[in-house]
Amino acid sequence: MYIRIYQRKYHLVEITTKFTCALALIYICLPHRFASHYNYLSLKQIENALVSQVTHNITLQHLEECSYGDILTENRYMYGAQYREEILRSEEILAGGEYYPEKCRARFSTAIIVPYRQREEQLHSFLIYMHNYLRHQRIHYRIFLVEQYDQKPFNRAKLFNIGSNIAAEYGFPCLIFSDVDLLPLNLGSLYVCTQLPRHMCSALDMWRFNLPYSGLFGGVVSIRTEQFRAVNGMSNLYEGWGGEDDDFYERLQARNIDICRFAPAFSEFTMLRHKAEEKNENRVALLRAGVLRHKMDGLNSLMYDEKERRIHSLFTHILAET
């Protein structure tokens, strides 16, 4: 079958092929137009969902509370070269990678916990951008880098557990677990806790800003310290890549704790390029038996050796032997 367009005849197959290619090109160039549909908090709902909790030292400040409405309303794009190339006003950052605004009293204190091993390039990019980014949010935060000191398979979840214990020593009521290769694009992705645990990076460029499945709860997540302890933290058994996030999600579900997400515009992240991690061959078997281990595998069974704690200018560095 042929179709005449202007002065030229086209076979139907040729038209179909060209149309399909055009759609594919649009999908590649404009992935945000195809973001997954899922339940999320709208702009009006976000502020009501935020949990105002701070460490003791912030409560002692005699200042007016910081406001956050303008940050959410504007949701300014931040991933520009000026914030990625060098740390601006580095004198504002306290030892250990801590910051709080001086002109108003922060309503939120957040421990940002980053599991780490041999990712120097990504770490460099993460620290520069995140310190520039986070200070615009007017929150109190501290970055904890938990490095696996041994050569065993990388145990990301166990490092999160270790980091949560260290953050508790400093009195942080809110935990954000973040991979070192994930960076937020817009300022409205507040690094604070909500009433429910929050999946923060549901619109990730690696997935063309789609959410692969509704139970995905990894990459960057926030959870109140008391909630994390209520579910006994994360499993310590996932060595290698994969499975620990799904296990954590199942723990929350078993305790009837739901998760939340912000609207896609407030959840856009980019992933830095890196070499793929070695997969955990036992992850499927561990997941199947996960519900049976929740009460005995986690914070209450956590064993590690803290080899050293270093207070760097941009982060608090925990060297842990797992």
Average pLDDT over residues 147-172: 97
Helix (H, G, I), strand (E, B) or coil at 168: helix
Helix (H, G, I), strand (E, B) or coil at 157: helix
**Sign, CA torsion 295/301/306/307:** negative
94-125 tens-digit pLDDT: 999 999 999 999 999 999 999 999 999 999 99
Give the closest residue to 153 by CA, choosing from 297, 278, 306, 307: 278
What share of the chain in percent tops pLDDT 70? 88
Question: What is the mean predicted confidence (pLDDT) over 237-265?
Answer: 94
pLDDT at 19 over 70: no
Instruction: Using the Cα atoms of residue 42, residue 177, residue 170 and residue 302 in order, give the sign of their dihedral.
Output: positive
pLDDT value of residue 290: 82
Return the minimum-mean-pLDDT range out of 5-14, 72-81, 174-183, 308-317. Answer: 5-14
Domains annotated on the chain, with CATH = 38-224+256-275+306-321 (3.90.550.10)
Q: Model confidence over 29-67: pLDDT tens digits?
A: 444 444 457 899 999 999 999 999 999 999 999 999 999
Residue-level pLDDT at 292: 86
